[in-house]
Amino acid sequence: MNNSAIGVYDSGFGGLSVWRELRRALPDESLIYLGDGKNCPYGGRSREEITRFAEEAVECLVSRGVKMVVVGCNTATTAAVEQLRSRWQSMPIVGLEPAVKPASLSTRTGRIAVLATEHSLASDMFLRTASRYAEGVEVIKVVGENFVELVEQDAENTERAAEAVRRVIEPLLNRGIDRIVLGCTHYPFLVPQIERVISGHDIEIVDSGEAVARRVAWLLDRYELHAERGHRPTYEFLTFADEEYRLRLEQKALGIKDVL
Ligand code: DGL
């Protein structure tokens, strides 16, 4: 038993889509969410830079006494998870990868699209995952241009967002895909917009949030780290940006629980 919090980290607001799944699946667990905010977006940055930010973030969470860290960011996972695990060997660190495996196993057309940041799509980790799990499946890689910025501006329900989503998704409609994998944790905030564009087409959206929550639950069991049953959880929000950003983070978190 361990009532310490689980740390969740992202470049900004995106990891809140993972935070929501953790909160739902593990209602006794306290969560400390760190949304960098100062260096967001990570998508076009170098591996070295992202690794530095990720190490700083985990240091901060560890200084708050977390028992586990969930890197709720595909980009930071691809850049830094191996380094983080070798530096903090005694603490479980969960990374996030685009759900290429379930999408490849379930596609009927043999073609899937993976939406993610530039960095994630170009990473060795993504190449390895795609060649391991998507054998015989055509994987169309697409960067969600401006998606992260829109979510960071709380602008996902605007005409601007609708336009950005149309620009990225419409060209996929006649490519024979039947799965769109959301390989960036910011993108689930744009699901209503994506659904509008794919409506009438036989395409399913595949996200990793629930699978990550299951993995965290499994690790809590394995390392006997679960909080006591009935423990009253606390939810804390931290950032490397300013207090205004931190408050927006908190508001977004508390407002999303039933929305996504
Ligand atoms: N939310 C992040 C991800 O899952 C990164 C977005 C960014 O900062 O570019 O990839």
- Global pTM value: 0.95
Q: Is residue 184 in contact with ligand 1, taking CB distance under 6 Å?
A: yes
pLDDT at residue 259, rounded to an integer: 41
Cβ of 40 closer than 6 Å to ligand 1, yes or no, is: yes
Write down which residue in 181, 206, 231 finishes a domain.
206
Output the CA 202–ligand 1 centroid distance in Å. Answer: 27
Q: Is the CB of 240 under 6 A from ligand 1?
A: no
Please state the atom number of ligand 1 nearest to the C-alpha of residue 186.
1
Residue 13 lies in a domain: yes
Distance, CA 230 to ligand 1 centroid (Å)? Answer: 33
Provide the pLDDT confidence category of residue 254 given band limits of 50, 70 and 90: confident
The closest alpha carbon to 37, from 67, 60, 20, belongs to 60
Q: How many CA atoms lie within 13 A of 44 on its CB side?
A: 7
Task: Look at residue 1 and tell me if it is in a domain.
Answer: no
Q: Bridge partners of 93?
A: 69
146 lines ligand 1 (CB under 6 A): no
State how far the alpha carbon of 190 is from the alpha carbons of 91, 157, 163, 224, 249, in Å: 33, 8, 12, 36, 17
Q: Is the pLDDT of residue 112 over 80?
A: yes
Q: Say whether both 75 and 137 belong to one domain.
A: no
41 lines ligand 1 (CB under 6 A): yes
* 143 has a pLDDT exceeding 80: yes
Q: Say yes or no: 104 and 92 in one domain.
A: no
Domain with 188 in it: what CATH number? Answer: 3.40.50.1860
Question: Which two tokens mark 91?
Answer: 């603490």
Q: What is the pLDDT of residues 38-77, one digit of tens each?
A: 999 999 999 999 999 999 999 999 999 999 999 999 999 9
Range of the domain at 185: 100-206
Q: Which residues are catalytically annotated?
A: 73, 184
| CA–centroid distance, residue 185 to ligand 1 (Å) | 6
Same domain as 188, residue 143: yes
Specify the pLDDT at position 260: 42
**Residue 105 and residue 200 share a domain:** yes
User: pLDDT tens digits, residue range 179-231?
Assistant: 999 999 999 999 999 999 999 999 999 999 999 999 999 999 999 999 999 99
* Residue 22 maps to a domain: yes
| φ and ψ of 257, to 5 deg | -55, -30
